[in-house]
Amino acid sequence: MPADSFACYLVTKEGSSFRGEVTTRGLADLPAGELLVRVDYSSLNFKDALSATGNPAVTRKFPHVPGIDAAGVVEQSDVSEYRPGDRIVVTGFDQGQNTWGGMAGYVRVPARWAVRLPDNLSTRDAMLYGTAGLTAAQCVEALAARGVTPESGEVVVTGASGGVGSLAVGILAKLGYNVAAVSGKPEAGELLKRLGARTLLTRADVVDESTKPLLTARFAGAVDTVGGKTLGTVLRSLQRAGVCAACGLVGGVEIPITVMPFILRGVDLAGIDSVECPMPQRVRIWNNLADAWRPAALEELAHEITLREVPRMVEKILQGGIMGRVIIRPEA
């Protein structure tokens, strides 16, 4: 039977100020949904940090429990597709944005948000991936679907020390790609090499301030988690028929670029949306992540914390001070 109460990280609004604290709530406080899930692990993403500090672009309803990711066990089900005891993972949709999320002992979600975990993937490992892993895998699928193979040439990953970037490096390397990893953190170099990066680049290597419409054609493909000038430089540096999967905006939402890479080199810009990723693709990706796409050094990406450590890690992630993935045990 479900517990009567559970610990959660609750963000409240007082005037124009926001406050987060570990507290206790009951099942009646949860939103409606066909599945009641006991959370084994959640994770901390950049979007969660924004939600936890009251960013209105992410969350507008308070009090609120952040957490766009959750993995755990179904305790109650109103649908035939899931039974108590089923292990599931939920990422994206509205979870943790304006619907209470995974930084809690329990979540209640619509059944259409859930993916049944493969037998060989633990709930902990599912949160080592989380939204970051799903996004990274979508990027890899986008490159492969558009003809970028390990034989095509070098693939660059920007923001490689972050969650999406590090997992993209690991997945691409596992599949045999020649990966160049870009990071502004020199201390991340050894970890990126263990994940499979063959070349390490600095931010300066992929930020060209010139107005040249094309740069030297170097990369066959790219996973860009940054946006802005970095994305503009990468697009201008792609080989003929090169492909860039774009999924980030921390470097800006404007791209300083002309149409030249697209009409003279046939470059392809593939946008990645993990929030509304179609369910067939989600299922396929989670099965791949459980086995053939599992990075060699996945466990090395883990920073495991409890709910009480969330404020400290929120501050670090907003300052760009996190390498890898933060996973959360939902205990006080």
Note the pLDDT of residue 72. Answer: 98
Q: List, in sequence order, every beta strand (DSSP E) within the chain.
A: 5-14, 17-26, 35-44, 69-77, 87-91, 106-109, 114-116, 155-157, 179-182, 199-201, 219-224, 238-246, 268-271, 302-306, 325-329
Q: Would you kindly state where each structural domain of the chain is located, as residue ranges?
A: 5-117+297-329, 132-271
pLDDT (0 to 100) of residue 321: 85
Judge: domain 132-271, CATH 3.40.50.720.
Answer: yes
For 328, list phi and psi in degrees, rounded to 5: -120, 125
Signed CA dihedral, 123, 299, 283, 93: sign only: positive
State the pLDDT at residue 331. 86
CATH 3.90.180.10 assigned to 5-117+297-329: yes
Please give the pLDDT value at position 140: 98
Query: How would you write the pLDDT of the chain (332 residues) with one tens digit per residue?
Result: 677 899 999 999 998 899 999 999 999 999 999 999 999 999 999 999 999 999 999 999 999 999 999 999 999 999 999 999 999 999 999 999 999 999 999 999 999 999 999 999 999 999 999 999 999 999 999 999 999 999 999 999 999 999 999 999 999 999 999 999 999 999 999 999 999 999 999 999 999 999 999 999 999 999 999 999 999 999 999 999 999 999 999 999 999 999 999 999 999 999 999 999 999 999 999 999 999 999 989 999 999 999 999 999 999 999 888 889 999 999 87
Q: Residue 320 has what pLDDT? A: 86
Closest CA to 36 of 81, 84, 89, 69: 84
Whole-angstrom distance, CA of residue 99 vs CA of residue 109? 9
Long-range contacts of 253-260 (CB under 8 A, 24+ apart): 253/227, 253/228, 254/228, 255/227, 255/228, 255/231, 256/228, 256/229, 256/232, 257/213, 257/231, 257/232, 258/213, 260/213, 260/214, 260/236
Query: Are 5-117+297-329 and 132-271 the same fold in CATH?
Result: no
DSSP 3-state of 89: strand
Q: What is the pLDDT of residue 1?
A: 61
